[in-house]
Each structure stands twice: as C-alpha cells, then as structure tokens.
Structure 1
Amino acid sequence: MKKNKPYILLADDDPDDCTFFMDALEDLSLDVNLTIVNDGIELMHYLSTRPEFLPDVVFLDLNMPRKSGFECLTDIRQIKEFELLPIVIFSTSQDTEVVNLLYSKGANFYVRKPGEFSNLKKVISKAITLIIRSPKAQATQDNFVLQP
C-alpha cells in the first residue's frame, strides 16, 4: 500500500452506500487508497491487526450490525494507539443529542449522508481536505457537522 496517497477506511454495512462512496471518490479524481469493512467487529479487527498501517481517516457509519459505530468510536478512543485516529461519523441520522454525544466522545467530524450524489462528493471532499490539513484536530462544536 502506497503511503504517499491518503488512506481512507470506510466502515459501512450498506453496499449501496459503499458503492456511492467509491463512485464519489472516483468522480472527484481523488488519488486515495480505500479499504471497506462492513461492520464494527470487522473494523476493530482490521485496526488491531494492522497498527502499522493505520488509515489517515476512518469514515464510520453509526448503524452497523454486530457492533455499532458508536461502540467502535468509544473503543477506538480508549486504545492508546488509536486515540488520535481521525474519525468522520458518516450516518443518515441527524439527531442533535446523538451528534453532541459523538462530539463529546471524540469524533472529528459528523457528516449526514446526503441523498444527492453531487452533495455526497462535496462533503467527502471537504472532510478529506480538513482531515489531511489537520489530522489530529477535532473540529469546534460549531464546525463539527459538515455540510455540502
């Protein structure tokens, strides 16, 4: 795996959402390495067996089988080797209480999955750009939710 390209890990159980994400990256002509895992157990196994190849950013769906994105975020932030791993929550929900809790648990950004492909491209590009510029920084609460 080339480390000169941004390395993105997408954790999402919905095959259509994964395809749209891949299509958006391709349409944006972003030169990245992308790995996809389909649930929280797979995500945690992937991270723990490849600590030398941590991604530059994890896009994490909240509603996944076996282990939710929220559980993964909590676990990731408790593991010293992963505590600064940039995590963008990528979900269909926009419950304010949930968003605030995710912020307090250490997610870097929150993205509500947009319904339109053009907005999906914009928000993915924005998230990747912000993370690459400042990988260890968490957004302020006012800037936590990314809009297209």
Structure 2
Amino acid sequence: MSDRHTFKPIQILLIEDSPSDADLAIEALGQGKILNNLHFVEDGVEAIKFLRKKEPYLDVPRPDLILLDLNLPKKSGVEVLEEIKADHKLKLIPVVVLSTSAAPEDIIKSYSLHANCYITKPVDFIEFTKVVRLIEEFWLAVVKLPVN
C-alpha cells in the first residue's frame, strides 16, 4: 500500500438518488479498511456543481473516485459522465458506474463515454454491501489512482 493510502484519506464522491442505496454504500464504505472521506450528492446538477466547486461546494476536495448512478434526477448519470470525461480538469478521475440497469445499451453508452467500469447493483442487501466493499478493495487498495 502506498503512502497516499496510509496518510491521506481517499476522497470518494457518491452520486446516488436512492436514499436506501446511498445509505448502504455509505455504511459499507464506512466499515471498510481504507481510510476515506465520502461525499454524497443526490442528483446530476449537484454532482457537476460539486466537481466544479460551485456554490455551495466551494471548499470541497477533488474526488479520487466517483461512484455514479445512471438514473438521476435533473441531469442523468450519462450526462454527468459525459461532462466529467469532456472536462480536462476532471477526466482523469475514475468513474465507476453503479446502476440498477443491466441493459446492454446503458453499458455500451457508459463505456463509450469512458466510464472506468460498469457494475449492476445487486438488489440484495448483503450482495450490495459485498459489491461496494469489492469496489473499495479494488479501486482504493489495488489500483494506482492519479495524483490530484
């Protein structure tokens, strides 16, 4: 494990409109082995404000990892992904799409917009928690993330 993971918490942005899914992800990441600061927004408009440090997010840190639901109000996850990957200041942030959709067109669209991976959310509480912990283990302990 690098010094980055030892001393500096990983900044995670969770973009999720389902309160129950958000609570599960927050709980799973809170019990994880990797020190992290989880930030949470409920819709695509707020996600873009957060990422671009617009009011009320002027002092938020840049995320090291984004967990993105596709089915969001105000601005879809696909639109958010498109904006992130088109922005030279944001495009290197890994984006994990975490969606209830297993539709091939959603998967293809996400990867065509340069999502770093696509995971279909399990509906079962225990399986959902396992998936979030696997995301944490892989993306925060195994993968080398770009330095902010």
Could you say which TM-score interval applies, normalised by the shorter chain?
A: 0.7 to 0.9
**Structure 2 CA distance for aligned equivalents of residues 113 and 55 of structure 1:** 21
Deviations 1:52-92 (A, max 9, x none): 82111110010111000000000111110001111000110
Gapped runs of 5+ residues in structure 1? 137-148
Normalised TM-score (structure 2):
0.82
**Structure 1 CA distance for aligned equivalents of residues 59 and 80 of structure 2:** 16
With a CA cutoff of 8 Å and minimum separation of 6, indicate the structure with the bigger relative contact order: 2
| Structure 2 match to 1:85 | 93
Instruction: State percent identity of aligned pairs.
Output: 34
Task: Give the number of the structure whose residues are more often helix, by fraction.
Answer: 1
One-letter amino acid matched to 1:19: D
Gapped runs of 5+ residues in structure 2? 1-6
**Structure 1 CA distance for aligned equivalents of residues 19 and 42 of structure 2:** 8
**Structure 2 CA distance for aligned equivalents of residues 51 and 135 of structure 1:** 22
C-alpha contact (below 8 Å) 2:43/2:74 kept by paired residues = yes
- Alignment pair present for 1:101 and 2:109: yes
C-alpha contact (below 8 Å) 1:24/1:117 kept by paired residues = no
State which of 104, 112, 127 in structure 2 corresponds to 1:119.
127
**Structure 2 CA distance for aligned equivalents of residues 69 and 98 of structure 1:** 10
Q: Report how many aligned residue pairs link the two structures.
A: 134
